[in-house]
Structure 1
Amino acid sequence: MSDARDRIAQASRLVVKIGSSSLTNAEGGLHSEHLDQLVQALVRNVRAGVQLVLVSSGSIAAGTPALGLRKPPRDLATQQAAASVGQGILLAHYAAQFAQHDIRVGQVLLTAEDLIRRTHYRNAQRTLGRLLDLGVLPIVNENDTVATDEIRFGDNDRLAALVAQVVQADGLVLLTDIDGLYDRPPAQDHARHIQTVRSAADLAEVGLGGRGSGIGRGGMVTKVQAALMASEAGIPVVLTRADQVSKALLGEVTGTVFEPSGRRRSPRQMWLAHATTARGSVRIDEGAVRALRQRQASLLAAGVVGASGTFLAGEPVDIVGPDGAVVARGLVAYDAAEFEQLVGRTTADLMAEFGPDYEREIVHRDDLVLL
């Protein structure tokens, strides 16, 4: 047993994510047997004292036949209508199955945008934590009825990785209809199963497919991105087929394991790194890169060579080195329009010309995370 699998087997708090393709039948409706099998596997862990969060896709798939549609809709408005109807069907089925084992469930609908805003992020963290403390199993889904860009490609994989970080989970299990990661699409000849991923470098020669089935909205690309997001934050991940969930939760060899390759970050650092979208970028010189990486210093105007975007003070920006690589992300203290007069100048210089308001850093180290 690998260290990552062992940690998942011994975890006290886990996030499990299941995709639409693993929950639906050939007609596009809910596959009751598959859903019931998942519940049975999760019940065993709950009874063993494990706190579980379930991130479940399937609302659009569940709502499609309920609306009399013969196939999953492609236009945004009908997708949102199907999600609105289907979410109730999905949750009702989960609630009924878990109730047979005296387990209460609670619905939590989120979008990635909810986790971008600091107050929303903290509210989600408090709500999920309290539900777990009360012995409730939270069932999380993307809020498809209001999502825009996310609804077109499916972001529940990334959402699951973010939720794992929000609740400070000990492990993440991503369930799909393929038994892990291959070095090329598994239908191709000589496709090789990858049992362990230790870092993103291990995937340099891996050819990933794009979208998944017509029922689900993600693909292996989004699952690998989510697995790396979590593992690079110190959370072990298993990616495997849905019918192998019991083995995954027991730490047995199944699917692909992503070994944690990074240090645990504080919730604020995780929020900055993974739940924010940069509104622009600030370009810095090599000296500033060294100051950020080696001394964990704040970013000062003297090390800035330029900026792009239309961001406002307090919004997230990418901090980019001379080679064009993103060094860090942080909450900037100035509007983009102010940068022309800031670039390359010392703090003393700025204070002398503009007053004490310009004593503040471009990005304070408490509002910055290295990437």
Structure 2
Amino acid sequence: MNTKRVVVKIGSSSLTDAHGQLDAEKLEDHVAAIARLASSGYQIVLVSSGAIAAGYSGLGYPARPVTIAGKQAAAAVGQVMLLNHYARAFHKYGITIAQLLLARQDFERREQMSHAYSALSELLKRSVIPIINENDSVSLEELTFGDNDMLSALVSGLIHADFLAILTDVNGLYDKNPNEYDDAIRYHYLDQLPDHLLNETSAASGSKVGTGGMKSKLCAARTALSLGVRTFIGTGKGTDKLVAIIKGEGDGTYIGSRELKPSLKVSKQWIALHSPVSGKIEIDDGAVHALMEKGKSLLPAGIRQIKGHFHAGEVIQIVDRKNHVLGKGQVNYSSEQLEEIKRMNSTHAMDLIDGGHPEVVHRDNWVPWTATLRPEKKKGARANGLSKEK
């Protein structure tokens, strides 16, 4: 396996003790494993939970706070503690770390997302390990990622990672709760994530200090797959645990085939996953074929109807005659302009509105729906794409 860029996500339960306080021994175990992987030539980004869990006891809370203000205060205190521990631990291996705090808004704003990519790329080029956490101290509850699982998936796509390792306190995904059923069987490999697995998996977290249960990890894995990143969910101890995980010998579940398509460019990731939709364009069968089969741009002649009000540069959905969503794209003209030129050939359309782009949506600013949701099922995959072990 030629993996060279890896995102490692460590959950709160893997960093704290039974009382919810930061466990230095656990943290140093993770750092030793990351340092070992880095010494083998891998570029690593660490997405680390634990700030709230590390900070709340120092503020006098008897348990993890439930109010937004309490969480924000605990995160502000705990983030300092967490990074100080990481800095000391990585210093033993001669590794420099950096801190990035990201919020949902940083992905929704295209320019900020691009800046985050540039900063991460520069740090990795200089052999620095970025440590990322959600900006809990200022994030509004309705705008957060919900947990760092999804954040790690989005980061893995952003930096075009080859692999995402989500470390937790459960050694993978089972067909039923292993704490309740002795005959529970673990999935060792999934080439995709069937809907029934997501629907049947509990959203509850098994830890009092964490927020993300197994369902959030599977949702994150599905997002990572859509971005071309294979994912591991499981556990491990010792200096060589990450090396073993990369080799396929980890104690957990591997998700995604090795034939995944490369991740989308940053601009297309923003269109696919983060951009708001301002309207719809319904296109005819010929345009559907050109977009979906031939990889062409959308021209005025293929437009049947305009739905909604939007401006040039905004993102719209493109649908077929039966209103099936085909994908999302950044449009070059406003809804009013398109009403004037729909069904026209490009030459007449450009003359009418004095336009500079013959394409309504250029293929470079278009993302098919399959890329925004999940990769297509591979032919010849093992039965249901599932591999179990007892």
Same fold (TM over 0.5): yes
Match of residue 262 from structure 1: 260
Find the residue that maps to 2:290 and give its secondary structure. Answer: helix
Pair 1:287-2:283 in alignment:
no
Match of residue 175 from structure 1: 167
Of residues 231, 235, 241, the one that matches 1:241 is: 235
Instruction: Find the aligned partners of 2:24 and 2:185 in 1 and give their Cα distance.
Output: 32
Say whether the 8 Å CA contact 1:283–1:305 is kept in structure 2: yes
Find the residue that maps to 1:139 and give its secondary structure. Answer: strand
Find the residue that maps to 1:251 and give its secondary structure. Answer: coil
Instruction: Find the aligned partners of 2:308 and 2:213 in 1 and give their Cα distance.
Output: 31
1:103-162 alpha-carbon deviations (Å, 9 max, x no partner)? 111101112321233322222122112112222111011111232246666242222122
Structure 1 spans left out of the alignment, 5+ residues: 1-6
Structural RMSD (CA): 2.8
Query: Which amino acid in structure 1 is aligned with residue 12 of structure 2?
Result: S
Of residues 128, 131, 145, the one that matches 1:139 is: 131
Q: CA deviation at 1:279?
A: 4.3
1:61-98 alpha-carbon deviations (Å, 9 max, x no partner)? 12211211112222222222221221111111111111
Instruction: Find the aligned partners of 1:149 and 1:312 in 2 and give their Cα distance.
Output: 30
Instruction: Find the aligned partners of 1:252 and 1:208 in 2 and give their Cα distance.
Output: 24
Of residues 153, 158, 161, the one that matches 2:153 is: 161
Q: CA deviation at 1:309?
A: 5.6
Q: Using the TM superposition, name which of 65-74 and 147-156 deviates more.
A: 147-156
Match of residue 190 from structure 2: 197
Of residues 105, 113, 117, the one that matches 1:121 is: 113
Instruction: Find the aligned partners of 2:282 and 2:136 in 1 and give their Cα distance.
Output: 36
Of residues 347, 362, 365, the one that matches 2:363 is: 365
Match of residue 222 from structure 2: 228
Say whether the 8 Å CA contact 2:202–2:213 is kept in structure 1: yes
Match of residue 219 from structure 1: 213
Say whether the 8 Å CA contact 2:332–2:357 is kept in structure 1: no
Relative to the length of structure 2, the TM-score reads 0.82
Instruction: Find the aligned partners of 1:310 and 1:223 in 2 and give their Cα distance.
Output: 37
Instruction: Find the aligned partners of 2:304 and 2:50 in 1 and give their Cα distance.
Output: 47
Q: In structure 2, do the counterparts of structure 1 residues 119 and 300 end up closer, same or farther at CA, with 3 Å as the change threshold?
A: same
Pair 1:251-2:243 in alignment:
no
Find the residue that maps to 1:327 and give its secondary structure. Answer: strand
Amino-acid identity (%) = 38
Match of residue 210 from structure 1: 203
Instruction: Find the aligned partners of 2:41 and 2:98 in 1 and give their Cα distance.
Output: 18
Say whether the 8 Å CA contact 1:281–1:308 is kept in structure 2: yes
Q: CA deviation at 1:349?
A: 6.0
Say whether the 8 Å CA contact 1:185–1:209 is kept in structure 2: no
Structure 2 spans left out of the alignment, 5+ residues: 370-390
Query: Which amino acid in structure 2 is aligned with residue 237 of structure 1?
Result: T
Of residues 6, 10, 30, the one that matches 1:18 is: 10
Query: Which amino acid in structure 2 is aligned with residue 208 of structure 1?
Result: T
Q: In structure 2, do the counterparts of structure 1 residues 230 and 107 end up closer, same or farther at CA, with 3 Å as the change threshold?
A: same
Q: In structure 2, do the counterparts of structure 1 residues 218 and 348 end up closer, same or farther at CA, with 3 Å as the change threshold?
A: same
Say whether the 8 Å CA contact 1:350–1:359 is kept in structure 2: no
Of residues 84, 103, 107, the one that matches 1:92 is: 84
Say whether the 8 Å CA contact 1:350–1:358 is kept in structure 2: no
Instruction: Find the aligned partners of 1:242 and 1:38 in 2 and give their Cα distance.
Output: 9
- The list of structure 1 runs, each at least 4 consecutive aligned residues, that deviate by more than 6 angstroms after superposition, is none
Q: Using the TM superposition, name which of 224-233 and 356-365 deviates more.
A: 356-365
1:255-334 alignment runs, 5 A limit: 255-260=252-257, 262-267=260-265, 268-306=267-305, 311-334=310-333
Instruction: Find the aligned partners of 2:162 and 2:365 in 1 and give their Cα distance.
Output: 25
Instruction: Find the aligned partners of 1:252 and 1:161 in 2 and give their Cα distance.
Output: 21
Say whether the 8 Å CA contact 2:68–2:141 is kept in structure 1: no
Say whether the 8 Å CA contact 2:145–2:151 is kept in structure 1: no
Instruction: Find the aligned partners of 2:33 and 2:137 in 1 and give their Cα distance.
Output: 29
- Equivalenced residue count is 361
